[in-house]
Structure 1
Amino acid sequence: MARRIMSLPRLWSSRVFSVELDGRSAPLYFAIQEKHRGEEVPRVFRNLQTHERCYSLFVCSSDRIQRAKFYGELRDKLLKGLPPECDFKPMFSFLPNVKDSLIKGYFVKDTSECSIPTERVFSDLMQSDPVLVCSYSRGEDGRLWTQQLWSCAESQRMEMSEEYYVVPIEAPGYHPSTLNIINSDVFYSFEEAYEVLQKCGDIIPESKAVLELVSQRPEARHKPDFPVIVIEGLDATGKTTLTESLRETLGAALLRSPPQCLSPWRARFDQEPPLIRRAFYALGNYITAEQIGQEAMQTTVIVDRYWHSTAAYAIATAVSGPVCNLPSEGSEVYCWPGDLLQPSLVVLLTLDPEERRRRLRGRGQGTTEEEQELDHNQLFRLKVEGAYRRISGPACVTVDASPSADQVLQQVLLLIRGKCHL
């Protein structure tokens, strides 16, 4: 068998590593270096029993589609293959302040008495999948930990290659996932989103059908002839009622995003990893933009959700932990795509969480996985709302949706008349 070589990510010894223990608190960070200078043991390695072992696995393919697909599958492979005594958490490796340097993986803690079953799983993965494995060893005094990189020999026997000392490091002023948000979790150009689905043609046949709908790059109409008003908000905040009322009151055209033409493939792409799923919905925004441009030549256009929703949900999902982990206000991740038609006004409907849940129960209808997450995870809801409020170009105008439907309509009509001169 030819030797399978896993290329080491660039500047490995300069990388920072983070472990997500629970998805709600701040990650634990550590770094590696060739010489030890008396540093303390990083928090993630403290309080481990003598027999407990730690490993990390990183998906390191140079092909971003393969990397996204395999990372999505790796969790299931670990759940199925690892002994029950193993626990694993999401992990990142990145170069500080370097965009697109983030690689994803898992931090594994093994509490079993024997390491052979666990390491056999890792060995098998390295033979066929784009995964880099590291093990961590405790020094005799318990105060030094080292990281060893695994290499795959011709005999398929795992060997240790490079070794580094593990040292604590201060948390950066940003969540590491923010380094890779642009054109991975949120797309800022038609070409970037199109390219992702184009590369998926062989593994996701439905991609070709979607691309046929956008075979031509849509023309960006930045100043439509008539006003374009977008209504945003979480499910059950009254968007449908309001948009229908605005359509009737203003004699406007009503559009929804994602567009109806994508409905046959939504369930398929909702199963895909974020890179592919977000590219699909990004293209939906460009289809909606083309429809807006056509309708706005003749009349006012009301749009039920648009790019704000796509970006807010993606950012809130990508960034784990508390709301303060979101990119700060003014970050480029909140900037409107330069080639996407901009609305004249964006209204964000807000509602007390208990009232929103009451309305959802009254509907008795299914919701998306992300909406279900909103329903039981207050932290995720706060991050979505925080991202909504930070998007610029244009920014959202917040409207309380708790009064009666007619009162909300009248308030929004006042906004429209003031900002759009209708």
Structure 2
Amino acid sequence: MAPPRCFALELPDCTLAHFTLGADVSSYTDAPSARPDPGLAALLGPPGRSYSLCVPVALDASCGARVQAARLHQRLLHQLRRGPFQRCQLHRLLCYCPGSLAGGAQHGFLLRDPSDGPDTRCALLKLLGTCQEAPCPHLGEFEADPQGQLWQRLWALQDGGQLQVGRARVVPTAEPLLHPVVPDLPNSVVFPNREAARAVLEACTPFITEARAVLNLVDQCPRQVQKGKFQVIAIEGLDATGKTTVTQSVSDELQAALLKSPPACIGQWRKIFDDEPTIIRRAFYSLGNYIVASEIAKESTKSPVIVDRYWHSTATYAIATEVSGGLQHLPPAHHPVYQWPEDLLKPDLVLLLTVNPEERAQRLEGRGLEKTREEAELEANSVFRQKVEVSYRRMQNPGCLLVDASPSRGEVLQTVLRLIRTHCNGF
């Protein structure tokens, strides 16, 4: 018998509440452990009414099916922020199979209608009726019985009408050792090699014209490249840590080539891919790293190379975006997701510029630069920023050397140069 599907609901305090669905009340006792925790009951029970939507994707789904599911999820998200749903609260919801090493977590939403509006369910079913993808998500509706137990009714559209296709009791379940999306990260956002990222953009070519252009550039790059005799230093950091200034200054001081990821040859399409779901966005940035690697191989035969962001940025933002909840839900230190891809040219040194949140906020004021979705999230969501920072610190092979970028530009430059001369031969 297949194990039951479980759900992970992100609560307002960035913890996760885990529950499963039982066939009927006779299967369970009235023990306190069988009752939902207060945070879960507050989001699923009265007053108000809550609804669930999860986008189906099979454990063995093809790359194309994953891309299709991600685009449907994003389209539903945009719709759930408009019209009759604006009065509702949106929470991240995952559906997963506990103990599965293959991943396959389904992303979805919990929609909380505080006023329990009579038309919300109809509007949601109408929204699902616009989905052309198969299989289409079912709509779950939560309710409490007179004893305070929570139940979920499952609705579907059939012949233009609403049809109840199931009813099950909400039962709390234990939190898994790893966040439900972690086993799936190499298939979805932290690609372990060039081919995994390439397969995603290949699946996008029917609807994103620029995907083919990116692939053509990637395919012109050798699959195996070797670093030249000169040193390669990657400099990482959040926006407003002084990264652009430092990389330029270090390049000038060391007479080094200055490269940037994503490279200029695909930078013109960055806005297009930033508007796509995470799996597509991260595939674009991952392939950009392989193009940069080809440039590094050429330039490092002639001079040292400074790289403004590289693989660590791609991975940390992906992990922080995909893993719901707070810092405690990130993959633990030394997890394979923090390892550098074996087929990507590796730098000799990675420096991570850091400033405290208050200083970074002051620097951001008045910059007036256009922000990506994730850069805007850094400013608005302190938990997301902390997840990015912690993920940076957990990177391995190579790890990041931290640099306090709070002092003056001159002091930071001297610190960076000292670290380069200490850790890299030839300077």
| Pair 1:412–1:93, CA change in 2 (3 A) | same
Aligned to 1:18: 8
Q: Do the aligned residues in 2 keep the contact of 1:97 with 1:179 (CA within 8 Å)?
A: no
TM-score, normalisation: structure 2: 0.87
Read off the aligned partner of 1:103 and give its amino acid letter.
Q
CA distance in 2: counterparts of 1:372 and 1:127, whole angstroms: 32
**5+ unaligned residues in a row in structure 2: which ranges?**
none
**5+ unaligned residues in a row in structure 1: which ranges?**
1-9
CA distance in 2: counterparts of 1:41 and 1:157, whole angstroms: 32
Q: Do the aligned residues in 2 keep the contact of 1:198 with 1:208 (CA within 8 Å)?
A: yes
Answer yes or no: is 1:56 the counterpart of 2:52. Answer: yes
Structure 1 residue matching 2:92: 3-state secondary structure = strand
> In the TM superposition, what is the alpha-carbon distance from 1:233 to its structure 2 partner?
1.1
Mapping of residues 263-302 of structure 1, within 5 Å: 263-302=267-306
> In the TM superposition, what is the alpha-carbon distance from 1:364 to its structure 2 partner?
4.5
CA distance in 2: counterparts of 1:90 and 1:362, whole angstroms: 32
Structure 2 residue matching 1:261: 3-state secondary structure = helix
Mapping of residues 131-280 of structure 1, within 5 Å: 131-139=137-145, 141-153=146-158, 155-216=159-220, 218-221=222-225, 223-280=227-284
TM-score, normalisation: structure 1: 0.88
Read off the aligned partner of 1:21 and give its amino acid letter.
L
Aligned to 1:80: 82
> In the TM superposition, what is the alpha-carbon distance from 1:367 to its structure 2 partner?
3.4
Identity across aligned pairs (percent)?
Answer: 42
CA distance in 1: counterparts of 2:352 and 2:311, whole angstroms: 13
| Pair 1:287–1:49, CA change in 2 (3 A) | closer
Mapping of residues 100-119 of structure 1, within 5 Å: 100-112=103-115, 115=118, 117-119=119-121
| Pair 1:46–1:254, CA change in 2 (3 A) | closer
CA distance in 1: counterparts of 2:370 and 2:91, whole angstroms: 30
> In the TM superposition, what is the alpha-carbon distance from 1:323 to its structure 2 partner?
1.8
Aligned residue among 296, 312, 316 for 1:312: 316
Q: Do the aligned residues in 1 keep the contact of 2:227 with 2:296 (CA within 8 Å)?
A: no
CA distance in 1: counterparts of 2:335 and 2:45, whole angstroms: 42
Structure 2 residue matching 1:182: 3-state secondary structure = helix
| Pair 1:206–1:420, CA change in 2 (3 A) | same
CA distance in 1: counterparts of 2:390 and 2:182, whole angstroms: 15
Aligned to 2:17: 28
> In the TM superposition, what is the alpha-carbon distance from 1:287 to its structure 2 partner?
0.6
CA distance in 2: counterparts of 1:65 and 1:112, whole angstroms: 35
CA distance in 2: counterparts of 1:309 and 1:261, whole angstroms: 19
Mapping of residues 290-369 of structure 1, within 5 Å: 290-361=294-365, 363-369=367-373
Q: CA RMSD in A?
A: 2.5
Aligned to 1:96: 98
> In the TM superposition, what is the alpha-carbon distance from 1:272 to its structure 2 partner?
0.8
> In the TM superposition, what is the alpha-carbon distance from 1:243 to its structure 2 partner?
1.8
Q: Do the aligned residues in 1 keep the contact of 2:263 with 2:292 (CA within 8 Å)?
A: yes
Task: After superposition, give the CA deviation of every residue in 1:228-250 in whole Å (9 maximum; x if it has no partner).
Answer: 11111112222222222222222
Aligned to 2:398: 394
Read off the aligned partner of 1:368 and give its amino acid letter.
T
Structure 1 residue matching 2:268: 3-state secondary structure = helix
Aligned residue among 16, 21, 29 for 1:37: 29
CA distance in 2: counterparts of 1:164 and 1:31, whole angstroms: 9
CA distance in 2: counterparts of 1:231 and 1:361, whole angstroms: 23
Aligned to 1:3: none
